[in-house]
Amino acid sequence: MAVADEIVVSGSYDAIYEFCLQQGWTDGLPVVPPTRERVGAMLEWTDRDADEVVGSIPPLNGHASIRKIAANAVMAGCRPNYLPVVITAVEALLDKGFNLDAVQPTTGPITQLVIVNGPVARELGINAGTTAFGPGWRSNATIGRAIRLILVNIGGAKPGEVNQKTQGQPGMFSLCAAENEARSPWEPFHVEHGIPAEHSAVTVFATFPGYDIHEGETANDILTNLSRETGGMTRKLVNGGEHVVALCPEHAQILASAGFSKQQVKEFLWQHAGAPLAHLVPYFQRLARLRRANVFQVESGDDTWLPIADRPDQIHVIVVGGTSRHSTYFPCFSYSRFASRRITNHCGQAIRSVKDLFRNS
Partner 1 sequence: MVVCSHDFSALARSVARACGVDDPRLVILPHPLGSLPDQAIKTIIRRGHDEIMSVLTGKKRYTEVA
Asked if 178 contacts 122 with a C-beta cutoff of 8 angstroms, the reply is yes
Question: Contact with partner 1 (CB under 8 A): which of 23, 61, 220, 324?
Answer: 61
Q: Quick one: 41 or 287, whose CB is closer to partner 1? A: 287
Distances (CA, A) of 144 to 11, 39, 50, 75, 86: 29, 18, 21, 12, 8
Whichever of 130 and 164 has its CB closer to partner 1, that residue is 164
167/360 with CB nearer partner 1: 167
Indicate whether 49 belongs to the interface with partner 1 (CB under 8 A): no
Q: Does 105 bind partner 1 (CB under 8 A)?
A: yes
Residue 117 β-bridge partners: 201
Using CB under 8 A, which of 156, 216, 241, 331 touches partner 1? Answer: 156
Closest CA to 72 of 59, 60, 61, 87: 87
Q: Is 161 in the site for partner 1 (CB under 8 A)?
A: yes
Closer to partner 1 by CB, 59 or 119: give it. 59
Stretch that binds partner 1, among 60-68, 74-82, 257-265, 271-279 (CB under 8 A): 60-68
164 is a contact residue toward partner 1 (CB under 8 A): yes
Report how far Cα 207 is from the mean position of its chain's Cα atoms: 7
DSSP string, 207-249: E---EEEE--SSHHHHHHHHHHHHHT-HHHHHH---EEEEE-H
Nearer to partner 1, 80 or 105 (CB): 105
Distance CA 274, CA 55 (A): 38
**Please, which of residues 188-247 interact with partner 1 by CB under 8 A?**
none
Least distance CB 61 / partner 1 (angstroms): 5
Residue span binding partner 1 (CB under 8 A) among the ranges 55-63, 108-116, 222-230, 315-323: 55-63
- 274-293 residues in contact with partner 1 (CB under 8 A) are none
- If one asks whether residue 302 binds partner 1 (CB under 8 A), the answer comes out as no
- If binding is defined by CB under 8 A, does position 321 make contact with partner 1? no
**Which is closer to partner 1, CB of 162 or CB of 191?**
162
Q: Are 152 and 27 in contact (CB under 8 A)?
A: yes
Q: Is 254 exposed, middle or buried (0-12, 13-18, 19+ CB in 10 A)?
A: buried
Give a three-class secondary structure readout of 91-156.
HHHCCHHHCHHHHCCCCCCCEEEEEEECHHHHHCCCCCCCCCCCCCCHHHHHHHHHHHHHHHHCCC
Report how far residue 58's alpha carbon sits from residue 139's, in angstroms, rounded to the nearest whole number: 26
Contact region with partner 1 (CB under 8 A), list: 34-42, 53-61, 335-343, 351-359: 53-61
Instruction: Select from 154-162, 179-187, 231-239, 251-259 the region that touches partner 1 (CB under 8 A).
Output: 154-162
- Least CB distance to partner 1 at residue 101 (A): 9
Report the C-alpha gap between 290 and 275 in whole angstroms.
17
The reply to whether 162 sits near partner 1 by the rule CB under 8 A is: yes
Which residues contact partner 1 (rule: CB under 8 A)?
A: 59-62, 105, 156, 161-162, 164
